[in-house]
Amino acid sequence: MPAKLPTPVRHLLLALLLLQTLSACGGTGADTPFTTYIERLQRTLSVSANNNTLPASVPRLPRAGQLRLTIERDSLGALDFLDLRGCDLQVTIGKQNSSLGMLARDSQRLLLALEFLRLAPACVDMLTNEGNEELVRDLERAQVLKQRQLPALIFNATLGSAEFADLWRPGSLEHGYPDDTSSRVITALEQINASTTRWLQGDYQADNLAFELQLSEVSLGDGGTLWGALAHQAHWLERANSVLQAQATRGPLCAGRIRPAAADILPNVIRKFFIDGIQPRAAILGRRQHELMPPVLELEQQLADFLPADYRHWQARRDSDLQDFGQAPREHVIQLQSVLESCEGNP
């Protein structure tokens, strides 16, 4: 006689069996509105979906180390630190040349460069008055170099950073998304954009703590989750389209004076399971896309001449996907209209 399983083990096996049954019957919560809608379409039209492809995968943004632009070091490390006595810039160069400065995060490297550019003019004026022409030339060369490097430094600290990689990291598809999203990531992106504009125009003021907090907010953003949700929605609507296309291959739904029962049932299915069941979330997804993307695109435009090839390749895929996926609800409506138009005016 087989040994009786301990009660906790039996409970675990029953729970796993129940999970498998629920999974087989209904799919994930995010799938349910679509599977229900497609089942109703198939039943009403007496055809089956032919599209069994998987949703498009969301590619990760390449790692920060892979995207990082090389920044040429200036020659200020060779300066006699004491020669800068009386200049506030002395402290900045000391931080830059310290062991911590050498290992600083890209955001800190950017902030140190901005601090240098902000303080250098006063130091140049002081050294000019003292007649220290050689040191003035060194500082002016370093100024020109850092001004030229500034867009690359901004890219490394923003679009090419780990925080922006987190923004685009594919997230789990929750049924409640995007109802639970926040505007904080959008505000942070807009603030980073505004700072970037000022910096590139020669205003080097920076709030170091605020900038780091903005990057932290960006890292909590939902760019990758949004991309995945739009891909998921487009996948299911394409399956629904395949049902309508299967109907179209059989000819018009209403032919001549023949009006099948499906002609009266289909509008109710569309209203209940698409207009009421799918379109509200589709509208929220579309709104989220139109809120999140403009500040991202603006920042990319400001740094367009400095985007590395790997970033451009990923960017092109993202823009193509978001455009195509964002059109999926509209394209499905066109397919529905095509099926129903043969029944207009049909008795």
**What residues does 258 pair with on adjacent strands?**
255
Q: Are both 203 and 303 inside the same structural domain?
A: no
Q: Are both 81 and 209 inside the same structural domain?
A: yes
The pLDDT assigned to 94 comes to 84
Supply the DSSP symbol for 92: H
Helix, strand, or coil (residue 15): helix
Number of domains in the chain: 2
pLDDT at 274 over 70: yes
Q: Are 112 and 104 in contact (CB under 8 A)?
A: yes
The pLDDT assigned to 15 comes to 40
Q: Are both 141 and 197 inside the same structural domain?
A: yes
Band of pLDDT at residue 99, cut at 50, 70 and 90? low
Band of pLDDT at residue 346, cut at 50, 70 and 90? low
pLDDT-wise least confident of 9-18, 262-271, 322-331:
9-18
Helix, strand, or coil (residue 258): strand
pLDDT at 333 over 50: yes
Q: Are both 254 and 336 inside the same structural domain?
A: yes
Q: Which of 188, 185, 164 is nearest to 62 (CA)?
A: 164
Q: Are both 138 and 46 inside the same structural domain?
A: no
Segments forming the whole domain that contains residue 127: 69-159+182-219
Please give the mean pLDDT across all residues of the chain: 88
Q: Are both 90 and 209 inside the same structural domain?
A: yes
Task: Say what percent of the chain tops pLDDT 90.
Answer: 67
Q: Are both 206 and 255 inside the same structural domain?
A: no
Element (H, E) at 238: helix 223-249
Band of pLDDT at residue 10, cut at 50, 70 and 90? very low
Q: Are both 204 and 256 inside the same structural domain?
A: no
Alpha-carbon dihedral of residues 259, 262, 264, 268, nearest 10 degrees?
-160
The pLDDT assigned to 17 comes to 39
Of 172, 197, 219, the position where a domain reaches its end is 219
Supply the DSSP symbol for 255: B
What pTM value is reported for the model? Answer: 0.86
pLDDT at 84 over 70: yes
Residue 12 domain flag = no
Q: Are both 232 and 337 inside the same structural domain?
A: yes
Mean pLDDT calculated for residue range 145-155? 97
